[in-house]
Amino acid sequence: MNIKIIGSGSYMPEQIITNQHFGNHVFLDEVGNKLKYPESVVGKFKDITGIEERRYADPQLTASDLAFFAAERAIADAGIDKETLDYIIMCHNYGDVEFGKIQSDTVPSLASRVKNKLGIRNPYCVAYDLLFGCPGWNEGIIQANSFIKSGMAKRCLVIGAETLSRVIDKFDRDSMIYADGAGAVVVEPTEDSSGLLSYESATYALEEYEYLYFGKSYNEELDPDVRYIKMKGRKIYEFALTKVPLAMQSCLKKGNIKIESLKKILIHQANEKMDEAIVSRFYELYHMVPPEDIMPMSIHKFGNSSVATIPTLYDLIMKGKIERHKFCKGDILLFASVGAGMNINAFVYKV
């Protein structure tokens, strides 16, 4: 028995922030020195990351609101009674951060908030949060698979949502990468050959654990106790290129799947150049080059929304909103992600 996705939904905020928005920003380096040519930083940004614009949530909305919108659409797409859900797995990293505030709100859990917003009365629909860095949604799918295969559940809702725009240091040029969004899917058992075929998951928590962390602003005049998302970009790049292709390869081996069978690779939309390098390194393990259009991208228009990038990408393709990309019955997909922890995971899925 496998699990399959029977419905998907996403919510991309309406507020579009283009790269030009950052043209007059004051960017500082790690010791607080002003970068000399900010317009050059912005100008090169697209070439380095592939990002042209990103979405920010409206001020009145939080991550759980975005999650609710995506969940509602996924449930409608699946055509199910919401009361039949056994689990709501809410994947995020920073909780609900209200616009203009500095404190994260995680009590009650975001999963419980989504359940409340959905109006689900069934007390045996268990709602819990999952914090696993950017690979959180993938891990949620892996956990849903375990629940269903063990007989603990028949139907799960797995959501990835984030409002990274609320936890960025505007003086850090890396702040241009991050975005807001939410994606969700409903999964249930299938007796045919479709669904989740194999998976791999790992945590590297020695020197790697602080490659992504919460740190103070680069602006020394600001409160040092207020923390923002920070990353060691070069370390992450090297780590991802080494470890992610191996996890992807392990997935294929576990499922006894040939690389030639892959139709699409849905990878966390972190940085276009890094994602391209990961996929190239993966194919190099087989002495091959990546096929054209193997890797759909949404980062150009939606930026890096952490756990939301993969489920939103999946839904956009399902809804015919990513040019040149579609899924057909029987297609074999490979999902992969890397993020804070440092966590890595991947799974193979047959449409």
298-340 pLDDT tens trace:
999 999 999 999 999 999 999 999 989 999 999 999 999 999 9
In sign, the C-alpha dihedral spanning 169, 171, 174, 175 is positive
Domains of the chain by range and CATH?
A: 2-191 (3.40.47.10), 196-350 (3.40.47.10)
Distances (CA, A) of 88 to 91, 115, 148, 221: 10, 8, 13, 42
Q: Per this entry, what is the length of the chain?
A: 351
Q: Which contiguous run of DSSP H or E holds residue 278?
A: helix 272-284
| Six-digit token string for 330 | 């029987």
Residue 75 CA, chain-centre distance (Å), reads 20
Close Cβ partners of 170 (under 8 Å, ≥ 6 residues apart): 25
pLDDT in tens, 156-208: 999 999 999 999 999 999 999 999 999 999 999 998 989 999 999 999 999 99
Q: Which of 176, 212, 134, 168 is nearest to 46 (CA)?
A: 176
Q: pTM to 2 decimals?
A: 0.95
